[in-house]
Amino acid sequence: MPGAGLTSEAFLTIDLPTYMKITNKYTVEAIVFCSYVLFAMAWVGGTVSMSQIMAAMDLHSLADASFISGAVTFAKIVGTFVAAWLAIKLGVKIAFFVSCLLVVTGLLTPIAPNYELLLLSRFLMGLGGALMIVYFNPIVMTWFDTDERPTINGLNAVAFNVGTAIVLWSMNGINQLTGNWQNSLLCFSVASLLLAGLWLLIPAQSTALATAAQTTSTVQQSYGYKEGLKDPFNWAYALTYAGLLAFYICLFTFYPKAGISASKWVIGAGIIGTIAGMLYSRKIKQRLPVIRYSGIIQIAMVIGLSFSPSPLLQTLCAIVLGFFVFFPITALVSLPHELPDMTPSRVTVVFSLFWSISYLFATVILWLFGKLVDMAGGDFTLAFILISAVSTTFFIGSFFLPETQPKQAPQP
């Protein structure tokens, strides 16, 4: 138990020698970024190795495999929703540390002796990733100046794609280097554990992270979940992204089964799009135009990818789509940071609701997508019409979001 008068954050960081303390904000960001990259590598690495995992357990039921995916989706919904509550109770520093430890439970995936433990390890790891993505925002807001936040937000937004790309393009090489897929997944988890240890070297008392812990009681009274759910901005913000998220998950879940395999192109172009979006958002401060125009291009490319009979045109649409899915993300995730009277604790609630509402919406759409395919006897036409319609939320939602930095009218 912590000693009298000590906060839970201070309990984990007292009596550190000065040379052991991490106070450089770019080092802090490197730890955050690499933590999520490693989560993506462990997550996607387990997914691409699922056939070997199930073979090792002598499991042959696709229902078991789909149940794992469903449990993970449930973990994302629950994790993102409770993230703000956990930060309020423990403080941002410990809450992020907890998310790191949950990600580390992925080490059970390659050594699980039974299906139940495998399911638990994937659920806990998904929970850790869901928490982690929410905590990016209070960490960025407390460590970085306003002008730096769009760049850092964009960098964090591309972390999952970086980890995914590494696994999709290099997993075979990694397996050869480590010896097998089990060792590869263990290495990812051990690296995550090392980063979790480094995170504890950040002294809460001398950083802005302490501010979030100190103001939680006030925020709990003035802007908690109750206030957040009543705030029209949070619904408009989440539903703007929800349709795009639903399509993105469908792309990797159902499109290959329809004979459209373009995930690598979308991810690769997405990395380039995120970098371009970071540079763009540093120069152009207005957020809505890039969201709106990117939304129009997204709709056209989703339709082209879904209905074109030409593999070449599908590939071209996937590349353009990948770029414009991620090009406006820096502007999108920076927008709440720039709202009036925003605090680290309030932004935690905002993004907690943002991700949980988006994932809940996407889960319903994925179910409807699969249902339509089943009802049509395996034909994807109606399902593709549904997902094309849903992908319009990014464009439509831009008309319901506030412009945080309106363009100044020219002086006469």
Residue 136's pLDDT band, with cuts at 50, 70 and 90, is very high
Same domain, 178 and 29: yes
Q: For residue 218, tell me if it sits in a domain.
A: no
Beta-carbon count within 10 A of 349 CB: 28
Beta-carbon count within 10 A of 149 CB: 20
Q: For residue 11, tell me if it sits in a domain.
A: no
CATH classification at residue 352: 1.20.1250.20
d(CA 202, CA 333): 25
Q: Per-residue pLDDT averaged across 202-228, rounded? A: 58
Q: Per-residue pLDDT averaged across 353-364, rounded? A: 92
The amino acid that residue 124 corresponds to is L
Same domain, 234 and 193: no
Residue 204's pLDDT band, with cuts at 50, 70 and 90, is low
- HEC secondary structure over the chain: CCCCCCCHHHHCCCCCCHHHCCCCHHHHHHHHHHHHHHHHHHHHHHHHCHHHHHHHCCCCCHHHHHHHHHHHHHHHHHHHHHHHHHHHHHCHHHHHHHHHHHHHHHHHCCCCCCHHHHHHHHHHHHHHHHHHHHHHHHHHHHHCCCCCHHHHHHHHHCHHHHHHHHHHHHHHHHHHHHCCHHHHHHHHHHHHHHHHHHHCCCCHHHCCHHHHHHCHHHHHHHCCHHHHHHCHHHHHHHHHHHHHHHHHHHHHHCHHHHCCCCHHHHHHHHHHHHHHHHHHHHHCCCCHHHHHHHHHHHHHHHHHHHHCCCHHHHHHHHHHHHHHHHCCHHHHHHCHHHCCCCCHHHHHHHHHHHHHHHHHHHHHHHHHHHHHHHHCCCCCHHHHHHHHHHCCHHHHHCCCCCCCCCCCCCCC
Asked which of 178, 210, 242 is the last residue of a domain, the reply is 210
Same domain, 186 and 314: no
Asked which of 181, 210, 239 is the last residue of a domain, the reply is 210
- The number of folded domains in the chain is 2
Domain extent at residue 334: 223-403
How do residues 389-412 score in pLDDT, each as one tens digit?
999 999 999 999 999 888 765 445
Which residues fall within 8 angstroms of residue 328, CB to CB, at 6 or more apart? 277, 290, 291, 294, 295, 394
The amino acid that residue 162 corresponds to is V
d(CA 153, CA 337): 10
Asked which of 147, 176, 210 is the last residue of a domain, the reply is 210
Q: For residue 123, tell me if it sits in a domain.
A: yes
Same domain, 246 and 205: no
Counting every residue written for the chain, the total comes to 412
> Does residue 222 have a pLDDT over 80?
no
Q: What is the pLDDT of residue 16?
A: 59
> Does residue 219 have a pLDDT over 50?
no
Q: Which two tokens stand for residue 127?
A: 């929970």
Predicted model pTM: 0.83
Nearest to 78 by CA among 363, 337, 276: 363
> Does residue 57 have a pLDDT over 80?
no
Residue 277's pLDDT band, with cuts at 50, 70 and 90, is very high
Burial class (CB in 10 A: 0-12, 13-18, 19+), 57: middle
Q: For residue 89, tell me if it sits in a domain.
A: yes
> Does residue 305 have a pLDDT over 50?
yes
Question: Across all residues in the chain, what is the average pLDDT?
Answer: 84
Same domain, 204 and 299: no
Q: What is the pLDDT of residue 287?
A: 92
Sign of CA dihedral 330, 333, 337, 338: positive
Residue 67's pLDDT band, with cuts at 50, 70 and 90, is low
Q: For residue 409, tell me if it sits in a domain.
A: no
Q: For residue 10, tell me if it sits in a domain.
A: no
Q: Per-residue pLDDT averaged across 287-307, rounded? A: 95
Residue 203's pLDDT band, with cuts at 50, 70 and 90, is confident
Q: Per-residue pLDDT averaged across 123-137, rounded? A: 92
Q: For residue 330, tell me if it sits in a domain.
A: yes
> Does residue 257 have a pLDDT over 50?
yes
Q: What is the pLDDT of residue 199?
A: 93
Percent of the chain surpassing pLDDT 70: 85
